[in-house]
Amino acid sequence: MISEDQQEVCSEYSVDPVDCDSVLQVGIAFATTGQLPLNALRHPPTATTTGWYIWGGQLSANPEFFDQMHASHLEERVPELVRYLALPPGWRVLLAPGQVDAWFDPSLTEVE
């Protein structure tokens, strides 16, 4: 379900919202979510995932960097990010003190 805050963010960026189904999985780097900046990017969703990957600080190439978690728990882990979760696939978000950046990255939706 898309919240009013999420609809507002999508309107601000002139995009149609795409639900982040709370029963689906997100990739989240638990060990880094307290670090800044907080980063998120969205690939196209699959049958079991929302497409969102979330981490704090620097991204790692380690294949074990991301853990899986149901999207329903994001409010507890990264409440400041929840209002951006209806941004469609291809969007990135960076949150830091006094800074909010959200932008479309076409490379996230390219088919390999």
The pLDDT value recorded for residue 112 is 64
> 19-42 pLDDT, tens per residue?
999 999 999 999 998 999 999 999
pLDDT attached to residue 111:
72
Q: Which of 40, 72, 34 is nearest to 53 (CA)?
A: 40
pTM, two decimal places: 0.94
Average pLDDT value for residue range 60-73: 96
Q: What is the predicted pLDDT for the residue at 66?
A: 97
Q: Stretch 75-90: mean pLDDT, rounded?
A: 97
Token pair in block for residue 13: 């960026």
The residue count for the chain: 112
